[in-house]
Structure 1
Amino acid sequence: MGQTIYGLDMFHCAELVQDDEESLKFGTPERIPGAISIKVDPKSEQTKYWADNGVYDIFNNMGDIDLEAEMADLPLKLQNKIYGHQVENGVSFASTEDKTIHIAFGFRAKKSTGGYRYFWFLKGLPELMAIESKTTEGKADPENAKFKAGFMPLQSPEGKGRWKSQAEDSDTFNGEGWFDQVVYDGSAFASDSGSKATDLGK
């Protein structure tokens, strides 16, 4: 029987605390309620190698990885953390001194055969968010928060140049605990480690 993927929920993001030759560390993932849509566009450039009067081989070169997500709202507390805004007496200030942090971004989608397919995008730098609003014309017409980030491969040897992880519920995989940490290594899901992944990137 065939399988289709539909639906979307469980947006999460986590700070990438360290990604260098010495270590790879992520913060604890935080839930972003109100997932609406997501689009991930990994761009690649193909180089054709010609021999024997024809295309002999083709090489893919990784380019930009653009993520665009829409959600009901990106809470102000999380905006302050991601974009480095300063808070004074409950007022959030954006300035030219702000420093945006690198993040990982995760979510899941339903499978028509049961269970979910899970995703983490591992290292992205968010763009500043646009602000859109309009007057109420007799009924509420909420504006979606639009989040954009450019993703890239991890640099740490622990990250092995990876930029995405994905898995799906099956007889051999249990997605419980997927959002407890950023998944950049599959060892935590080994059958002898129990059904829940722990201690990645701590």
Structure 2
Amino acid sequence: MGTNARVGLRDIHVALITEEADGTITYDTPKKIAGAIEATMTPNTSRATLYADDRPAENAQSLAETEVSFGVGYLELEDYALLLGKEVNADGAIVETIDDKPPYVAFGFRSERSDGTFEYNWYLKGDFAVPEESYNTKNDSIEFQTQTITGQFIAREDGKWRSRIVENDTADQTVIDGWFDAVYDEETEQV
């Protein structure tokens, strides 16, 4: 049996979160962000070892936030507004203020594996920050100028932080078929 390494990335989706005062979360219908180039998830974990009787006796670890960064060919203005809590005005422009607050969102995608199956992921709660921008002049060769945006994802009140499934003989095909119709979560209301 092969390793079934990851060989692709596609179908990045985000879903706005509505959170009630009691911590109840509702996800909007996921929206696709076109042009996936790369995605990197970096969990911030902490590990400690307890020593007793002159040897390691116990290990403990905790997960804080996960940094999520993704790159696209171009982040459309409406997607930029969605991710960062901005508004597109009647003229089709965004006027940004220091008071804009990025909303909490879920972040999902799928990754092809070397055997042709897919791994599906949802990061359940996080927000994105205004991305770095750079522009270069044209010259005698073409240089693509892609965009990357980074966010911090945290666990929800119930401790859940990610849902994932891999296509194989035991995976529920109904769940896979509807993965981007709604954020996957057995216990959360989906709109």
TM-score by length of 1: 0.85
Note the alpha carbon deviations across 1:3-42, whole angstroms, 9 max, x for none: 2221111111111111653522011110011111111010
> How many angstroms apart in 2 are the aligned matches of 1:177 and 1:64?
27
**In structure 2, do the counterparts of structure 1 residues 138 and 154 end up closer, same or farther at CA, with 3 Å as the change threshold?**
same
**In structure 2, do the counterparts of structure 1 residues 19 and 62 end up closer, same or farther at CA, with 3 Å as the change threshold?**
farther
Alignment of 1:14-29 (within 5 A): 14-18=15-19, 21=22, 23-29=24-30
Q: CA deviation at 1:141?
A: 2.0
SS of structure 2 residue aligned to 1:167: strand
SS of structure 2 residue aligned to 1:150: strand
Q: CA deviation at 1:200?
A: 4.9
Note the alpha carbon deviations across 1:59-79, whole angstroms, 9 max, x for none: 002123111111111110121
Note the alpha carbon deviations across 1:151-182, whole angstroms, 9 max, x for none: 10011xxxx31111110111222211111111
Aligned-residue Cα RMSD (Å) equals 1.8
> How many angstroms apart in 2 are the aligned matches of 1:87 and 1:38?
26
Residue 52 of structure 1: aligned partner: 53
> How many angstroms apart in 2 are the aligned matches of 1:22 and 1:84?
20
Residue 71 of structure 1: aligned partner: 72
Alignment of 1:155-166 (within 5 A): 155=157, 160-166=158-164
Instruction: Check whether the contact 2:65–2:155 (CA below 8 A) recurs between aligned residues.
Output: no
> How many angstroms apart in 2 are the aligned matches of 1:70 and 1:93?
23
Instruction: Check whether the contact 2:42–2:68 (CA below 8 A) recurs between aligned residues.
Output: yes
Equivalent position to 2:142, from 140, 143, 163: 140
Letter of the 2:159 counterpart = G
- 1:39 is the counterpart of 2:40: yes
Aligned residues: 186
SS of structure 2 residue aligned to 1:85: coil
Residue 191 of structure 1: aligned partner: none
Residue 101 of structure 2: aligned partner: 99
Unaligned runs of 5+ in 2: none
Instruction: Check whether the contact 1:47–1:58 (CA below 8 A) recurs between aligned residues.
Output: yes
Residue 128 of structure 2: aligned partner: 126
**In structure 2, do the counterparts of structure 1 residues 87 and 110 end up closer, same or farther at CA, with 3 Å as the change threshold?**
closer
Unaligned runs of 5+ in 1: 188-198
SS of structure 2 residue aligned to 1:6: coil
Note the alpha carbon deviations across 1:84-119, whole angstroms, 9 max, x for none: 223332221111121210111111111222320001
Residue 170 of structure 1: aligned partner: 168
Which 4+ residue blocks in structure 1 deviate beyond 3 angstroms?
none
